[in-house]
Structure formats: C-alpha cells, structure tokens
Amino acid sequence: MDSCQTCVIRNRAICSELEFSELEVLNAIGHRRQLVAGEQLIWEGEDAVLVANVIEGVLKLSNSMEDGREQIVGLVYPTDFIGRPFGATTPYGVEALTDARVCVFARRDFDSFARQHPRLEHKLLERTLAELDRTRAWMLLLGRKSAEERLATFLLEVSQRLEPETCSAPDNARQAAFELPFSRQQVGDVLGLTIETVSRQFTKLKRDGVIDLPSRRSVEIVDRRELEARAG
C-alpha cells in the first residue's frame, strides 16, 4: 500500500478519486515495472492483456506499416493511462522513449475493478475525451500548420507535459528548460517533417532568441509568448 500512498502522480492519475480502502484493492492487483529506453511494453495487434499508469518517463505509441516504416501516433507522459481496458486487441505498440516507470495491471483484473467503481470509470471517460481532443488538435497541426508552427506547438506541449508547474507560473517566471526525449528524426516522424526541416526550424527559433539549445537534447524556452505566437 505504501507505493500508492507515496506515488508522485497520486493526485493527478486516474486513481486520484479513489478512497483509501479502494486503493488497497487496486494496489493488490497491480505492480510497478521499470522500463529502459527502447523496451517494448505492449505489442501492436496482440491481445490486450495489460494496462498501465505512467509514473515517470515518456513512451511512444506507434504503428508499423507493411514496408517496415514506423509511424508515431501518440506520446504518453507521467499521469497518462495506456492500454485498452474493455478491449480485445491493442491497435498500437507502446515503447519507452526514455527510462520509465509504470504501474501495470492485468487488463481483466482492471476491467473487473473498474466496473465495480464508477468513479474510476468516470475518470477513464474523462481521459478518453481529453485524448480525443488532443487527437483532433493534432489533426489540425498536421493538416494546416506550417513547419515552424508544428515545431513550436510541439515544444510547448512537451514543456507543458514535462514541466506543468512551470507552465502554470506567472508570465515572468515561465521560462522552462527540459531534456527533449526524442531524436531529431523522431521529432520529424511525429510532426510529419524531414529531419532537415526539423533541424532548420530548431536553428531558426534559436537564432531568433525564442529558444536556446544548450545541447543536442536540451531545450530552453527563452520567450514563451513568442513561441506561443509562432505556434499559431
């Protein structure tokens, strides 16, 4: 039970509405799992045998094409829920982009628990609708936004998901620095851009004083308002 009580995402995860006695039951059917970068958690097209809460790290959702190419269709961050409760198969693969820690449940056990706890089912519905909203926003990004707008939007989203407290701070304290958990090629895959275009846009934003790039993976948002403006 200590793992639930001391969990760093306890107040923001889908289990946040559960009472102490309910957490005891949920804790009994779950376990923590450590993932290393590149490790697969769920395989595309296989039976949906597990679901999980992300505690630390970033994971990607992807589909494989017939010619072997991969399309990243989503990213998951701490507090996100992954897997298909009440589903038969998983339509995407889930792989750790960084070292990660997840709280894993057998899907059948989780489904049974959720049916008996309406507050948890309500949280699942809220998360599903929020994910639908993000998907629609992503369709706009890929279909209508320019390369600069795509990268600016992407950096703002990553900053918000990795540094939520910084993003909610007053404007004069809203600079943020984070380690980007993606290679330039992966950023291009997510945004539908070539690696050359991604590199040019990073260079342009740095040259214009909007961001700084202390290292290959480090990003510092210097002027958030300008980055928001360039995101459209």
- Choosing from 120, 139, 158, the residue where a domain stops is 139
Q: What's CA 162's distance to the chain center, in Å?
A: 9
Residue 1, pLDDT > 50, answer no
pLDDT digits (tens, 9 = 90+) for 219-231: 999 999 999 999 9
Residues 41-65: tens digit of each pLDDT: 999 988 889 999 999 999 999 888 8
133 with 155, same domain: the answer is no
**Does 155 share its domain with 135?**
no
Question: For the sheet containing 211-212, what is the strand order?
Answer: 176-179, 218-221, 211-212
Segment 56-79 shows an average pLDDT of 87
Query: pLDDT of 10-40, one tens digit each?
Result: 788 888 888 888 888 888 888 999 999 999 9
Q: Are residues 97 and 42 in the same domain?
A: yes
What local confidence, expressed as pLDDT, does residue 2 receive? Answer: 54
Domain count, the chain: 2
Same domain (yes/no): 86, 31: yes
Residues 113 and 161 placed together within one structural domain of the fold: no
Domain stop point among 139, 172, 206: 139
The answer for residues whose C-beta is within 8 angstroms of residue 27's C-beta and 6 or more apart is 1, 3, 4
Cβ neighbours around 12 below 10 Å, total = 13
* pLDDT given at position 147: 93
Asked if 31 and 122 sit in the same domain, the reply is yes
- In terms of pLDDT, which residue wins out, 206 or 22? 206
Query: Tens of pLDDT along 89-142?
Result: 888 899 998 899 999 999 999 999 989 988 888 888 888 888 888 878 777 777
Same domain for 112 and 163, yes or no, is: no
pLDDT confidence of residue 148: 95
Instruction: Give the C-alpha separation, 52 to 124, whole Å.
Output: 12
Q: What's the domain range around 58?
A: 2-139
CATH number of the domain bearing residue 98: 2.60.120.10
Which residues lie across from 177 on neighbouring strands? 220
Question: How many H helices and E strands in the chain?
Answer: 9, 11
pLDDT at 183 over 60: yes
Mean pLDDT to the nearest integer, 167-175:
52
Q: Are residues 12 and 68 in the same domain?
A: yes
In the listed set 116, 139, 162, which residue is the last one of a domain according to the structure? Answer: 139
pLDDT band at 173 (very low <50, low <70, confident <90, very high): very low
Q: Are residues 24 and 70 in the same domain?
A: yes
**pLDDT given at position 174:** 56
The answer, yes or no, to whether residue 196 has pLDDT greater than 70, is: yes
Determine how many CB atoms are found less than 10 A away from the CB of residue 18. Answer: 20
- Do both 80 and 116 map to the same domain? yes
Percent of the chain beyond pLDDT 70? 93
- pLDDT, average across residues 148-168: 81
